[in-house]
Each structure stands twice: as structure tokens, then as C-alpha cells.
Amino acid sequence: MRTIQILLQTTILPCNDDWSIARFSRLAELLRTYQDPKGRVTFNVVARDREQLGQPDPILSRLDETGFDELWLFAVDEGDGLTSADCEGITRFRRAGRGLLVTRDHMDVGSSLCTLGGVGKAHRFHTRNQDPDHSRRVADDPFSTHISWPNFHSGRNGDFQEVTIVGPIHPVLADPDAPGGAIRFLPAHPHEGAVDVPDDEPARVIARGKSKVTGKSFNLAVAFDPSVRGGPAVAQSTFHHFADYNWDARLGCPSFVSEPPGTGMQTEQQALRDVHRYSVNLALWLAGAL
């Protein structure tokens, strides 16, 4: 089995006081050090921020011409993180059969991804690609009042949430060592974004969470099986499921994060094991190796 080539990529410039790629270091380390049952290193990981704003990124805009097998796109921008050329390059990449994880956050964070072929339509934002169900265009998190919908409150940063499996257990959620054969936990976040199944795409919701404030159910992940339209893909409700701060709040966060953190990811070791399993499962499935 050849080494799977992974690109971990944000949509902002390098910045110490933002959600730049340096704040996803634990994920990068997990994948770089993972070995298959025969002791072989499985993944080669490149982790980068974009190089400039307002101009096509030299990698993303020509992603289909690279040797990467999959892209993990952390859309952490305020709506200007991807150019049309970047979106076209990523879309061609997936149409060539390669894998794509696309994740964002609350309100309009990451809304520059809307035009990504297929997967972009799975993401609902505050001012772009809005949820057609008007009853869901309401604020869920009442504590950070400057953040409006979508902002589902699954718990504090640094805590965990319990996952509800939807339909047959998807391979990215499978854990043969767990009761029920699936992971139970993912990191929590006070204001997750919204993902849903586009009407005209071969996709399904695979996991849901529940608001700790309103009790509302919301989608955590939508999976796109490989098809004539493109390779495997997952639309995820928030990039905080993969951020260092949400795996271990002691690792710190940007100065604009004001909510008090939790410690659940340290006190419940199964939660950390579950997110590690989920991340490795994702990396394998997006490469067609699971």
C-alpha cells in the first residue's frame, strides 16, 4: 500500500492570533505518526495556510495537478478565503475522484466555500446558501450574543458531545472495539455551523448532535459517496472538531475567543480516542482505503 498524500489547508494567511494551520497540529501529528497493522507509516501530511488574499492560491487553484489524494479544508475565513479559481481547482480535484473534507464554523465563517462543486451546497450560512427551513434560521447559542444563526451549542470548547449515528454506521464512524460498533463522542463547540444534504447530490447525513441549550437536533456530518460526480467527501459542521484547543483546551486559542473552556476531553479518555479514530477513519475513507 502506497503512502496516502494529505493536504491540511486553511483559508487564511498565517496568523498567530487566528485559527491558522498551526492550531491543527495535533491532527497533523496523529496522521503523520499513524501506522497500519504491519507497522507502516500510512499518511504523508502537508499542512499550510494560504499564501495571499484576493489572488488564486498557487496550490488550491491547481490542486487537480498535484499528487495529493485528499484535501482537508478548514474554512476559517469571514467569507473571502477562497477565490473562484481556488474553488474551481478544488472542484476539479474532487471530480478527478480524489477525497475532500470541507468544514467551517458558525454564521458566515467559511462561506467562501459555497461554490465548491457539490460539497459547497451542503453548507448553510447566515447570508449565503441559507437553510430553506425558516424555523432553523434562529439563534441557538444564547451566550455569545454577537454570534447569530447557525450557531448550535453542543457544549464548551474542551468538552465532548455525544454523537447520534444516523442510518447504517458509516465507515468513518465505525469502531469495532466500541459498544454498538461506532464512535460515541466528538469534541463540543458553543456555536457549530449547519450542514445538510443537497437535493441533487448522492449524499446522506451520517451523524447528528443535540443542542445543550434548546435540545434541538442538528447535523454534524454529511457524507458523499464516490460517484460519477466526484470522489468521496464529507461536509462537517465545524472545524473545531479537529482543532488543538478542542482536543485539549490547555493548548490555547486566539484572543477573540471569550467563552470559558471545559476539561471533558481530558477527563473522559474515550472521547479523545473517539476523535482520533474518527480522524484516521476519515483519512482512510477519503483515500478509498476503508
What domain count does the chain have? Answer: 1
Cα separation of 290 and 284, whole Å? 5
Place of cell 472538531: 241
Task: State the pTM of this model.
Answer: 0.97
Percent of the chain whose pLDDT exceeds 90: 91
Residue whose C-alpha cell is 477573540: 256
The 8-class DSSP code of residue 270 comes to: H
What residues contact residue 162 under an 8 Å CB cut-off, 6+ apart? Answer: 184, 185, 209, 210
pLDDT at 16: 96
DSSP letter at 182?
Answer: B
**Taking 80 as the threshold, does the pLDDT of residue 1 lie above it?**
no
Local structure of 181: helix, strand or coil: helix
Classify residue 31 by its DSSP letter: H
Checking if the pLDDT of 117 tops 90, the result is no
**Residues 44-103: tens digit of each pLDDT:** 999 999 999 999 999 999 999 999 999 999 999 999 999 999 999 999 999 999 999 999
According to DSSP, the β-strands at 99-103 and 233-236 are parallel
Distance CA 42, CA 32 (A): 8
Please answer whether residues 72 and 7 qualify as being in contact, where contact means their C-beta atoms are separated by less than 8 angstroms. yes
Half-sphere exposure (Cβ direction) of 192: Cα atoms closer than 13 Å = 35
- How many Cβ atoms from other residues are within 10 Å of residue 196's Cβ? 21
Taking 90 as the threshold, does the pLDDT of residue 199 lie above it?
no
d(CA 16, CA 253): 10
pLDDT number for residue 271: 96
CATH of the domain at 107: 3.40.50.880
Distances (CA, A) of 270 to 25, 81, 170, 183, 240: 20, 35, 19, 9, 18
**pLDDT (tens digit, 9 = 90+) per residue, 228-262?**
999 999 999 999 999 999 999 999 999 999 999 99
Cα–Cα distance measured from residue 116 to residue 127, given in angstroms and rounded to the nearest whole number: 17
Does the pLDDT at position 168 exceed 80?
yes
How is residue 227 annotated by DSSP?
Answer: B
pLDDT tens digits along 267-285: 999 999 999 999 999 999 9
Question: In the numeric block, which cell numbers belong to residue 191?
Answer: 456555536
Which stretches of 143-269 are assigned E, i.e. beta strand? 160-162, 164-165, 185-187, 194-195, 203-210, 217-224, 233-236
Alpha carbon 182 to chain centroid, angstroms: 19
Q: What pLDDT was estimated at residue 155?
A: 97
| Mean pLDDT (whole number) for 191-205 | 94
What is the domain extent for residue 21? 4-286
Measured distance CA(231)–CA(54) in Å, rounded? 28
pLDDT higher than 80, residue 162: yes
CB 70 within 8 A of CB 100: yes
C-alpha cell of residue 150? 447557525
The larger pLDDT score, comparing residue 1 to residue 187, is at: 187
pLDDT of residue 200: 85
